[in-house]
Structures are given as C-alpha cells and as structure tokens.
Amino acid sequence: MGFTLSKLGAIQGVNTVLDTFLGAKTDATNAEFVIAGVPFDATSTFRKGAKEGPAAIRTASQHLESFCLQEGSKEDASAMALADIGDIAVSPTSAKSMLQSVEKVVNTLHNQQRKVILLGGEHSITFGSVRALPRDVILIHFDAHMDLRETYSGTPFSHACVMRRVAENIGPSNLYQVGIRAATKEEYDYAQAQNITYYTTLDIARQGAEVIAERLRSSIPFGPPLYISIDMDVLDPAFAPAVGNPEPGGITTLQLLTLLRSLAPRADFLDITEVTPKYDQGVTALCAARLIIAFLCAKTHHQVEMKE
C-alpha cells in the first residue's frame, strides 16, 4: 500500500484522532511541522502502557500555555504551521511490522519536506523513523539507558536494542547519547569499541547543561539532517515517574529543556517516547508536551532570526 499525501493532506496508514496536540488541525497540506503518534509497546519489559502515551501527551498539551516565553520568540506554538495527523496504524504485537509502518509514513513526510514529531510509544519506534531518512542523519539520543544490546527477550528489535540498530544503520559516529546512567557490560564494551560519544548524568551535573550543549553543537557537522530522540526516562523519576523503565539519578526537567532549546534549531526530527501514563497523575505527559512546545518555539525563533 502506498503512503502519499492526498489533496486534503491526509496520509494513508494513519488513523486520525479527535484530540490533537495543541488542538492542531489534522490536514497536513500546508503544515511545516507534522505530529504523528505511534501507540506501540509490545516489546516493553518492565512497565507496559506506553501505547497510551500519544493520547496522554495530546491531552496534556491542551492544558499548557503555548506562547514562547522562554525561547526568546514572540510566537505562539498553537498558531504555527502545525498539523497532528493522528496515530500511525501499527500492529499491536509485531515490532517488525510496526517499524515498516513507521518507516513508510516518515518517509512520505520527509519527501514532502515536513519537520516530523513522533509521539511514542516505546523507544523501539525510533529505528523505523531513522530508516526512512538519509544514511548520514545525526541522532542525538536522550536516555537513561544506552539501548545498545544485540538482542533482548528474543528479539533484535526490542526497546533495549534500538540504538544498536540505529548505530548499525547510520554509523556509530553519527550517534550521540546524552543523560546515560545505566548500561550492561555488553553495551559499554560496544560503545567503547565503536567509539560512540556519550555524556552521563554526572557529566551534565558537573559541567552544566550549557557546556554539554555547546560540545554537541560543535561536534555535529553541518549538512546532514539532525534527529533528536528523547526517552522520558532520561529525567529523574522525581520529574518523570510514569515511564517504562525508571532509573534513579537522572537529569532535571530544566537541564533537559536547556539542552533541547540549544539543539532544536538544527533539528528537523523529534520523537518523545516511553510515556507510560498510568504510573502517575499526568506529570510525565505534561513534561513531554512541554518539551515539544519548547522544540517548536526554539526552531521558530531561530528561523525568524535567520530571516532578519
């Protein structure tokens, strides 16, 4: 089945939703930014429920102010050229099938020169999205975990293997990991052998988010597309308790926002994963929604500056 934009801006393989992010339109015809949900959690191994993440993030967005107060912009995210096309139709049980569905939709959006924001869903969705993009794409991965296992629970497409698959696809030198504080010996050895750049939570705490952001910006070559992937467990559980695999000792919401605002102007792709809403009263979904608004505002502010 082909995935093409119709005259009405609809995309095949996507189910529209009633409640959209910031109340955005569902017609993508004239949209610069396109949001899509990926309600999938079949490989989750500790706390399931990430398939409910897209809906929770959309609901949370409608209770946040969308004016770009802290990004230096006079723009309002809700008034931007934004569309929420709904949830990608994915198999609820097959990671391989899910990846194919995500790849086809993201490829369609990329070919239409849209900036894409995915709402997870568990972190395995990122590999499907990355496969749709040029092989020189740079991925900045915010996570408590390295996710570099060869296989996990009998599958190479688990959330715990997603960055191993990404590194194999785009090359280890194009992968940067931020906020890491948990890994197996296998993952550590792989990261060392492949010379993968990573910054731990302690690096951020000791050096400051601004310094780490500047190091990342100076390391990333101009030209290739930039993709930011955020597993919400990069935050300390005190700030984001409702995630699939919480890990104590994480960064703060303010540190993550600082890093994201600094990097967003370069990025055209963002995903937010692992929101598992039943484990709190909406705090984690609110954090996820705020991150997306900050991303939109930082990019728009940069574009306005470039025009001026």
Instruction: Tell me what pLDDT residue 2 has.
Output: 34
Give the DSSP letter string of 212-242.
HHHHHHHHSPSSS-EEEEEEGGGB-TTT---
Residue type, 289: A
- Closest by CA to 22, choosing from 85, 65, 53, is 65
Residue type, 164: R
Measure the CA–CA gap between 67 and 64, rounded to whole angstroms: 9
Domains, the chain, with CATH or none:
14-307 (3.40.800.10)
Instruction: Tell me what pLDDT residue 117 has.
Output: 98
Could you report the average pLDDT of every consecutive run of 10 residues in the chain (308 residues)? 41 90 94 97 95 98 94 86 96 95 96 96 97 97 98 95 98 98 97 98 98 96 95 98 97 98 96 98 97 95 53
**Cβ pair 292, 244 in contact under 8 A:** no
Three-class DSSP category at 132: coil
Instruction: Tell me what pLDDT residue 162 has.
Output: 98
Instruction: Tell me what pLDDT residue 62 has.
Output: 95
Instruction: Tell me what pLDDT residue 85 has.
Output: 97
CB atoms within 10 A of CB 185: 7
Query: Cis peptide before 179, with omega less than 30 degrees from 0?
Result: no
